[in-house]
Amino acid sequence: MKKVLVVEDSPHVRQQVAMALAASSISIIEAVDGVDGLAKAADPEVGMIICDVNMPNMNGLEMLERLKADPALSLLPVMMLTSEGQAKLIERAKRAGAKGWMVKPFKADMLVAAVKRILSVTQESQRR
């Protein structure tokens, strides 16, 4: 199974996401901001990205927009995981191609279910 790239500036939240996904045998790669995330997204082991919105250096929405503009990375599914719930931010993320939006604090089982759903849909579409 592909790994999930977790782009999050908070070490505590990265640890929470890692523990939730590890319990379901899903491995992660960690990135500390959008610049780091964009660089690590090119790793062929990455099958999906979970990304915060508010981060230093490059925020998650900017990272998402740059990722989707790159033909080599544009098909990677991205789910936003953030404390933000503003409709205009959610709409911007949808327009940019985000596959989901989850508000922190999150429930581990809901996060795992969303990740599994997105990964399975992605793998199914790649088989076609």
Domain ranges of the chain: 3-127
List the strands of the sheet with 46-51, edge to edge: 28-31, 3-7, 46-51, 78-82, 100-103
Q: How far apart are CA 80 and CA 90, in angstroms?
A: 9
Predicted TM-score of the model (pTM): 0.93
CATH superfamily of 3-127: Response regulator (3.40.50.2300)
Q: Is 25 left (phi over 0), alpha (psi -120 to 50) or beta?
A: left
Evaluate whether 21 touches 28 at the Cβ level (below 8 Å).
Answer: yes
Tens-place pLDDT, residues 23-42: 999 999 999 999 999 999 99
Tens-place pLDDT, residues 77-116: 999 999 988 899 999 999 999 999 999 999 999 999 999 9
Q: Determine the average pLDDT of the residues in 40-60.
A: 96
What is the band of 51 on the pLDDT scale with cuts at 50, 70, 90?
very high
In percent, the amount of the chain with pLDDT more than 70 equals 95
Q: How far apart are CA 23 and CA 5, in angstroms?
A: 16
Q: Determine the average pLDDT of the residues in 55-77.
A: 96
List Cα–Cα distances, 112 to 27, 34, 35, in angstroms.
Answer: 12, 22, 25
Q: How far apart are CA 74 and CA 21, in angstroms?
A: 24
